[in-house]
């Protein structure tokens, strides 16, 4: 029976799919990294939900596939996988609805000052809370700039533009056409003209530090930066300086440079900063959807078929599966 290793538990529906196909599905023994090394030394495929040690794949001679149960794969050593002919897959768009709705929720919370209204109501009473009504703004007519118009960015653009009547500016990699309701814009315009600037792009060498001190300094004084990409896309110290100086309206971060952040991380002391623990894409529906899709990729490779979403397609002709 082929052994499918997991870095952490996956949805029961995904486990059932693999077991019904005659696979053994197992978690590493114990909590330390040695358990992961031990199980991967015998595994035929690995489903990933947590960061991998850089040398793990070199110590896993039987692996035929590394399947990311999610979208981002920056914590998988894809270069090492490519060097040894090991395909890596992901599930693009699997959590797009969940992340997009999270982004819209963040915009609604900050535009209507819901947290502040709740806190003032509880501590100072009805009169003090209702007197702050003039701090709320409508999303209709505001501008959202989106860096990264993949599945997540497109869904946000659709909700914001067609649902709320917002002006949508966008930038994407490559030459693909933008949706009809999205106006193309370069970085200078995105940072300067947006009331909400959304980062939903992959973390690559090109996007690392994309939200630099210089670019963020061009933002409107009441604009909000929203990051659901990766922490490394933002110059975090520069963002903190801007927040403490009141140079921008605020920021909503679902991702950070340090995850989980230490309790003394300066993020926790920053004003006008809405923090969530990297859970924008985590609803029961989206987790099951991405886990099942990863399991389906494993089954394809075990049958000798090419998976649907290979992030390093150059290895396929020489992948380990071909000799299996």
Active site residues: 230, 259, 278
What are the distances in angstroms from CA 107 to CA 7, 21, 100, 292, 313?
A: 33, 44, 11, 30, 37
Q: Which value, in Å, is the radius of gyration of the alpha carbons in the chain?
A: 22
- 205 C-beta neighbours (distance < 10 Å), count: 6
| Dihedral class, residue 156 (left if φ above 0, else alpha if ψ from -120 to 50, else beta) | alpha
Nearest to 3 by CA among 53, 34, 30, 38: 38
Provide the terminal-to-terminal Cα distance of the chain, rounded to the nearest Å.
14
> By three-state DSSP, how is residue 63 classified?
coil
| Dihedral class, residue 85 (left if φ above 0, else alpha if ψ from -120 to 50, else beta) | left
- 141 C-beta neighbours (distance < 10 Å), count: 11
Q: How many CA atoms does the CB half-sphere of 184 hold within 13 Å?
A: 7
Residues in the chain: 324
DSSP state of 162: I
């Amino acid at each position: 029976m082929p052994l499918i290793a997991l870095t952490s538990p996956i949805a029961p529906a995904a486990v059932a799919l693999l077991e019904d196909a005659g696979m053994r599905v197992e978690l590493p023994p114990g909590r330390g990294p040695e358990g992961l090394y031990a199980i991967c030394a015998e595994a035929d495929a690995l489903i990933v939900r947590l960061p991998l040690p850089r040398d793990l794949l070199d110590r896993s001679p039987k692996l035929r596939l590394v399947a990311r149960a999610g979208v981002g794969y920056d914590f998988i050593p894809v270069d090492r996988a490519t060097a040894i002919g090991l395909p890596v897959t992901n599930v693009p768009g699997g959590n797009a609805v969940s992340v997009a709705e999270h982004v819209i929720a963040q915009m609604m919370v900050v535009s209507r000052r819901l947290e502040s209204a709740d806190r003032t109501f509880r501590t100072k009473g009805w009169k003090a809370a209702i007197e702050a009504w003039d701090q709320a703004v409508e999303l209709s007519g505001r501008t959202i700039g989106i860096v990264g118009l993949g599945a997540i960015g497109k869904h946000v653009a659709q909700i914001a533009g067609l649902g709320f009547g917002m002006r949508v500016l966008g930038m994407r990699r490559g030459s693909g056409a933008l949706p009809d309701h999205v106006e193309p814009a370069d970085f200078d315009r995105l940072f300067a003209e947006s009331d909400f600037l959304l980062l939903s792009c992959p973390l690559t060498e090109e996007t690392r530090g994309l939200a630099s001190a210089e670019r963020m300094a061009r933002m409107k004084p009441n604009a909000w930066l929203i990051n659901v990409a990766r922490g490394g896309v933002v110059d975090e110290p520069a963002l903190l300086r801007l927040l403490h100086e009141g140079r921008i309206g605020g920021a909503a971060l679902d991702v950070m440079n340090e995850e989980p952040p230490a309790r003394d991380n300066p993020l926790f002391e920053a004003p006008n900063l809405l923090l969530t623990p990297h859970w924008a894409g985590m609803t029961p529906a989206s987790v099951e959807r991405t886990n099942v899709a990863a399991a389906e990729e494993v089954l394809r490779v075990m049958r000798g078929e090419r998976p649907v979403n290979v992030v390093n397609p150059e290895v396929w002709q020489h992948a380990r599966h071909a000799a299996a």
